Amino acid sequence: MPSASRSQREPPAPGTLRLRDADLPWRAVEGEVVALDARTSEYLAINESGAALWEALAQGTDGARLAEILIERFSRERSLAEKEVDAFLAALAERGLLAR
Partner 1 sequence: MNLQARIRAEPHSPLRATLASLHADVTAVEIITAMRRANVEPILLKGAAIALWIYPHGESRPYADTDLLVAPGERARAEAVLASLGFAKVIDDADTPGWRQAAHHWHRDRDGAEIDLHRSLVGVRATDQELWQVLCAQTEPLLLAGTSVRTMSPAARALHVALHASQHGRGMVKPLRDLELAVRVLPRDLWSQAVLLAERVQAQETMAAGLRLTPAGAALAADLRLPERHSRLTALHTGSRPAGAMSIEHFAAISGWRSRMWMIVRKLLPSRRLMRASCPLARRGRIGLLAAYAWRPLWVIGSLPAAVRAWRRADALARAGSEATPSRPPVERPPSSRR
Residues that bind partner 1 (CB under 8 A): 1-9, 20-31, 34-36, 38, 42-47, 49-50, 53, 84, 87-88, 91-92, 95
How far apart, in whole angstroms, are the C-alpha atoms of residue 53 and residue 97? 13
SS3 21: coil
CB of 38 vs partner 1, minimal distance in Å: 4
> Whose Cβ is closer to partner 1: residue 32's or residue 62's?
32
CB closer to partner 1, 36 vs 71: 36
Residue 51 · residue 28 · CB < 8 Å: yes
Largest CA distance in the chain: 37
